[in-house]
Structure 1
């Protein structure tokens, strides 16, 4: 009986907010000068990331065409191809969506697009993060267990798992996101529409748990795995070099394996560094907002927009990193 009454109160509260209640802040959001600058930089980074990632895919295609018939891309190039596709997906979905949403301020796409684009946005964010994990795990195994890796398929199972988990973990977005209709500043019903998660969770801690799960899967877990893999690579290479100091003279050696291993270490470290620098400000602001929504009033609008733009640098940096180390 108590649960039914609580549910009815929640439904009534959501219904009243969806119909005619004005915003608590008293004013509807508008496109500010800093917002216009954010939109301009967002579309600039969109063009940059699209060009870089598409160019690398074309480069991979040329490498494939130059190979003899029957030969496939190397193990690492297969992994880089999927990371590039994931970054391109993130670029084509997240950046234009963020830019257009900042221009319109409110949501004009309707209920279906609200759910579908919210799903695609999170899916395209999961995919690059999980693909970075796959590359880190593969490179770690390639150095610590080279024979086992050489006798296996080029990470196809891990690649498939990364895409599958990305699609599954983004699934709740189809349920929790929806349209709400707020009153405008004159009190007229339906004057402002937005795509949000309002009233999708029965209790506040349900939303907190979902946010923490998403944050962990997108940032904490991938970062920890990359750090652990890099540590294992460094430890293995240190042991190898201590056993045979002559391997330090890599340029004079006909055996290119040690040199390739050092290049792998540099690339995985560069990936982890780029991932950390680009996404840390984004998630710090997100966590701060979860625990203190009033932070939006304490952090200046330009600073807020600038720190969120850091996340869009990651798909721009990645093709430069693996393009450089793939030469």
Structure 2
């Protein structure tokens, strides 16, 4: 007996090809189509806004190079767009026509693309988690952690995702679902083949990333907690020092607010990833490992359809999380496309600000100095005169 999987989701409960239902619940199908349209529009709109903000920030605001976090956000947004265009959109067309109308080649292309988005999202989230873990838990070694390594992790995520999608080409084919009716189905000669394939997908796309994300972010949260305790001790110490009229320079926090903010952002994304993915993966495993699942009306009812749609909701919500935690991105869009006056920092100004931040530029006298760069005036208020440090070889 052949066991097949239909088009409702990536993997459905096993059905005998000869007993495939030729009809469907049209009311439920209309609701599913309407929800898919909304998810597709919101996903494309949100991620397009994020990509437009990153592009505007780089071209018009003088930020020639993306920070590491923005680099990860860029690829996460691309992964969500891949999910919308290669998974949600084909599924929408498929639900409208009920049967797949694309033929043999398009069947394999669509099934390959439907896995690419989820794999990309999972593995780029893993790369982001490893990068944040290195930055916060091992800040000294992170200085030698060049941006090239971060890019290497992202490109590895892309290559791995593409490789893991290849089995779809061999598993799915355009075949006769019922007399004179063809559809895009996955057929397994034995039930254990379907069980192995669905289990492998669940482990590779969700369980392994979940373990990595749990380990890294639990370590990060523990480190931030220790840092907050140390800061509290330092505040109490400086309070007692000030009461004794002893002046002492206040120390900087061990973990910057920017790093803590990026952790909050990625934790929010990870939580949405778990909320949207866990129910879907659970019912898929239940469907293939429970011998009585094909008799269960749950897999033909609205509850299973809702869980299927919930899996696509992750890509819909992510871009709005990025915009909420990175206020610079919507501000850049508002300044460039809505504000009457467009004032940006130029590339030289950005390099100057970075140099000031890193200590290459220091402050001297108690006055305000106005520097002119590319026709713009910038007031730099400090306690000392501003001057550039030169290396010892220049006699500086």
Normalized against structure 2, the TM-score is what? Answer: 0.69
Q: 1:22/1:209 Cα in 2 relative to 1: closer, same or farther (>3 Å)? A: closer
Match for residue 115 of structure 1 among 96, 108, 114: 108
Residue 262 of structure 1: SS of its match in structure 2? helix
From the CA coordinates, give the structure whose radius of gyration is larger: 2
Q: CA deviation at 1:109?
A: 0.8
Match for residue 38 of structure 1 among 32, 35, 42: 32
Residues 175 and 182 in structure 2, CA contact (< 8 A), matched pair in contact too: yes
1:212 matches 2:169: no
Query: Counterparts in 2 of 1:162-311, with a 5 A limit?
Result: 162-183=157-178, 189-190=179-180, 192-199=181-188, 202-245=189-232, 255=252, 257-292=255-290, 293-294=293-294, 297-299=297-299, 301-311=301-311
Residue 197 of structure 1: SS of its match in structure 2? strand
Partner Cα distance (1:248, 1:220) in 2: 42
Aligned to 2:85: 92
Q: 1:289/1:58 Cα in 2 relative to 1: closer, same or farther (>3 Å)? A: same
More helix by share: 1
Partner Cα distance (1:295, 1:142) in 2: 51
More strand by share: 2
Q: CA deviation at 1:239?
A: 2.0
Aligned to 2:55: 61
Partner Cα distance (1:94, 1:68) in 2: 35
Gaps of 5+ in 1: 1-9, 15-20, 184-188
Partner Cα distance (1:137, 1:115) in 2: 33
Residues 120 and 157 in structure 2, CA contact (< 8 A), matched pair in contact too: yes
Partner Cα distance (1:296, 1:39) in 2: 24
- The count of corresponding residues between Structure 1 and Structure 2 is 297
Write out per-residue CA displacement over residues 147-181 of structure 1, whole angstroms, 9 at most, x where no aligned residue.
33333332111000000000001111111111221
Query: Counterparts in 2 of 1:67-106, with a 5 A limit?
Result: 67-68=61-62, 71-106=64-99
Q: CA deviation at 1:243?
A: 2.6
Write out per-residue CA displacement over residues 222-274 of structure 1, whole angstroms, 9 at most, x where no aligned residue.
1111111111101111222223326789xxx8957531232133122212210
Normalized against structure 1, the TM-score is what? Answer: 0.83
Moved more, 145-154 or 77-86: 145-154
Residues 118 and 174 in structure 1, CA contact (< 8 A), matched pair in contact too: yes
Q: 1:203/1:23 Cα in 2 relative to 1: closer, same or farther (>3 Å)? A: closer
Q: 1:53/1:61 Cα in 2 relative to 1: closer, same or farther (>3 Å)? A: same
Partner Cα distance (1:132, 1:225) in 2: 10
Partner Cα distance (1:168, 1:131) in 2: 15
CA RMSD of aligned residues (A): 2.5
